[in-house]
Each structure stands twice: as C-alpha cells, then as structure tokens.
Amino acid sequence: MEENYPIKRIIDDHGHFVDSTFENEIDEKLVKELYYHMLRVRTFDRKAINLQRQGRLGTYAPFEGQEAAQVGSALALQPDDWVFPTYRDHGATITFGKSMTRTFLYWNGRVEGCVAPPDRNIFPPAVPIATQLPHAAGAAWAEKLKGTQNASIAYFGDGATSEGDFHEGINFASVFKVPVVFFNQNNGYAISVPIEKQMNSKTVAQKAVAYGIPGVRIDGNDCFAVYFETKQAFNHARAGHGPTLIEAVTWRKGAHTTADDPSKYRPETQGKDIVDPMTRLELFMKNYGYWDEQWIEEVKEKTANEIDLAVEEMEKYPASNVEDVFDHVFAEMPPQLAEQKESYLAHLERR
C-alpha cells in the first residue's frame, strides 16, 4: 500500500526542483508570498511561546515545523471558502485572514478569540478531536445546495483518524459528493502516541480507498507541493467531483502544547534529519535567484511590528473570566449547568 502512495515533492531537501510540473507557475509573487506568510506565522508562534513562559498567555499549542503545510494549504483557498481548524492550525487561519490579536485572545481564554473577521468563514478551533470533519462536510454540502463555487477545508492530525467523526465526515462527504478537502497533517504523534501505535495502515492517504475518493500523500514540508496539491484538490471539488483526502507528512518540532515535555516520549535524535520547511524554501530562493536580503529585512521588521501591536491590543482586554465557560454554551442555561457553575464559583471562593 505504501508504494501506491509515494510522497509527492516539488523541491528536495536542498531546495532544488525534483518535479517540473508546476515550474511555470512558480514566480516571484508566489515565492515571496509563501516566504512572507511562513516567516510571519513562525514569528507569531515563537512569540506566543515566550508570552506563555512570561505568564502573559495561557497554555499554547505550537506548530513550528508545520508552516509549509499550513501556509501552503491556506494560500490555495478562495476568500469565500470555509476553514475548520484544530487548536494547532493558527498558522493556517492567520494566513487566511484571522487577526493575530484574536488568535492571542483565544489562547488567553477570551471568547473574542473565537470570532473570525466578517469577510472570512473561519470556525473556532476544534479541541475535541475530529469533530470538525462532519462540520466541514456539512458546510460544503450547504454550498453545493446553494449552487456556489465555495468549498471547505478541514484540518486534522494523524491521531484524529482514529475517531468516529473522521469516518463519518469523509463518508458523508463522499456519498453526497460535496466540495471539501480533508487536509491531514501527519506530524508523527498524537501527544505521546507515535503513529505506529495509532494505526496499522502505513499511510493516512490510503484510507481514502475505503470511501472511494482520491487520496494524496505529499511532503508537508515542501510548501510548493502543499500549495499545488491543495489547489488541485479544490479544483476537483469545485468542479463537482467531491472530496479529496490529503496527507501532508510533516513534523512537530516542539512540544504538543506548552504543558507538554516531548523528551519524556520522543527519542532525542528523532526528527533531527528533517530539513526545516523554511530552510528548504530559503535554499530554493537562493538556488533560483529569489533571495532578496533587503526585502527579507523589511518583512522581518514589518512582522515584528505587527506582532508587537497584536500583543498590545490583546493585553488591553480584561483577564479571562471562568464564567464564560458556562455562559456561552446554550442560549438559555439548563438547570444542571447553572448548578455546576454555582458550585464551581463557590469552590473558587473557598480556595
């Protein structure tokens, strides 16, 4: 089965073309767009970890190492598409247009952090694993019934493929032939569980066979492979041919969250041979004459200023309020929940 799903690459680890299919579509605009967004979200990610360490942000889920997968796929979307992210996909949502301020607010436990800009269809991050797949299929179905060209993308991890919602979402999307892209980031682990203990299939992509839809396995650290394969999957969806399952093979460089210590379960040397996605793009830019020192300095400065401003904005909000956890679930609070809220507030009072 693994042989049927070779990992597709456009550039190699040294930033040289290995597949020329899309060579004519790779120009300065696209290269700089990919680099700019990858740099921007990586800087955001590192800042968020620092803020958490300083006690200025709550628990945070970092995505360093997955920038090519998240940015490459987000840039393949059209503005009216729907995005269903997990707690690790803020690289994708920020690229698609979610504000950095609101993304910080989410990690500070503020409900405002779940709000997307009015001109972008971005759902709040799904923390319950795989629950966003049926939602993505449903939104795509609605677009199909309305007769639009809009599609949806569901982001999810390798661990999510063990959940019932993964199968329900993909089966439904396949049966109703709805325009959705199931974008898997296989980063090797579901918290401390390595993929070999998660499943007996050798790839995630091969699971597409069971639903009669295309399955594609790509190098998730090659931003070009991600961008062009996601675009193809969207073209397929918009043309009325239904969903695609994409497996982007990548690597989570850091911890599962800031509350996790990967040295407890990941061998020290594991992943050290994987070339960082930004390094690969930098090498490509140097190899093919796209490297522009002055422009790089400009985007670094622009990004640093943007992030400082977002932190400032975030810190103007009041601290998170535990009552929000109870207050925003139902339009009218059921008695059991009211009781739980009261009892929890009394507990805090006693403490």
Ligand X SMILES: Cc1ncc(C[n+]2csc(CCOP(=O)(O)OP(=O)(O)O)c2C)c(N)n1
Query: For Mg ion, which stretch binds (CB under 5 A), given 49-57, 166-174, 186-194, 210-218?
Result: 186-194
Task: State yes or no: residue 66 binds Mg ion (CB under 5 A).
Answer: no
State the nearest-atom distance from the C-beta of 16 to ligand X, in Å.
30
Which residues 6+ apart lie within 8 Å of 146 measured at CB?
none
In the bound state with Mg ion, the residue whose beta carbon lies nearer, of 100 and 154, is 154
Among the listed residues 157, 242, 243, 262, the single contact to Mg ion using CB under 5 A: 157
Nearest to 178 by CA among 234, 243, 83, 132: 243
Which residues 6+ apart lie within 8 Å of 30 measured at CB?
227
129: partner contacted, choices Mg ion, ligand X, none (Cβ within 5-8 A by kind): ligand X
Query: How far apart are the C-alpha atoms of 101 and 213, rounded to whole Å?
Result: 38
Contact 315, 56 (CB under 8 A): yes
**Is 350 among the catalytic positions?**
no
Which residues 6+ apart lie within 8 Å of 75 measured at CB?
33, 34, 37, 95, 227
State the nearest-atom distance from the C-beta of 278 to ligand X, in Å.
19
Task: State yes or no: residue 89 binds Mg ion (CB under 5 A).
Answer: no
Q: Which residues bind ligand X (CB under 6 A)?
A: 88, 127-129, 157-160, 187, 189-191, 252, 256
Query: How far apart are the C-alpha atoms of 80 and 121, rounded to whole Å?
Result: 7
**Is 265 among the catalytic positions?**
yes
Task: State yes or no: residue 187 binds Mg ion (CB under 5 A).
Answer: yes
160: partner contacted, choices ligand X, Mg ion, none (Cβ within 5-8 A by kind): ligand X
Residue whose C-beta lies closest to ligand X? 157
Task: State yes or no: residue 165 binds Mg ion (CB under 5 A).
Answer: no
Query: For Mg ion, which stretch binds (CB under 5 A), given 90-98, 116-124, 184-192, 227-235?
Result: 184-192
Largest CA distance in the chain: 67
Residue 165 CB neighbour total at 10 angstroms: 20
Query: How far apart are the C-alpha atoms of 79 and 89, rounded to whole Å?
Result: 17
258-266 contacts, C-beta under 8 A, 24 or more apart: 258/49, 258/52, 258/53, 258/59, 258/60, 258/61, 258/62, 259/59, 260/191, 262/189, 262/192, 264/192, 265/189, 265/192, 266/189
State the nearest-atom distance from the C-beta of 165 to ligand X, in Å.
8
In the bound state with Mg ion, the residue whose beta carbon lies nearer, of 90 and 110, is 90
Catalytic residue, candidates 9, 265, 317, 344? 265
**Is 280 among the catalytic positions?**
no
In the bound state with ligand X, the residue whose beta carbon lies nearer, of 1 and 127, is 127
191: partner contacted, choices Mg ion, ligand X, none (Cβ within 5-8 A by kind): ligand X
Query: How far apart are the C-alpha atoms of 71 and 76, rounded to whole Å?
Result: 9
Catalytic residue, candidates 88, 110, 252, 280? 252
Task: State yes or no: residue 101 binds Mg ion (CB under 5 A).
Answer: no
In the bound state with ligand X, the residue whose beta carbon lies nearer, of 65 and 179, is 65
Structure token digits, residue 35: 């680099």
Task: State yes or no: residue 258 binds Mg ion (CB under 5 A).
Answer: no
State the nearest-atom distance from the C-beta of 186 to ligand X, in Å.
8
In the bound state with ligand X, the residue whose beta carbon lies nearer, of 107 and 284, is 107
The one-letter code for the residue type at 235 is: N
| Cβ burial, residue 6 (10 Å; 0-12/13-18/19+) | exposed
Residues taking part in catalysis: 252, 256, 265
Residue numbers at the binding site for Mg ion (CB under 5 A):
157-158, 187, 190
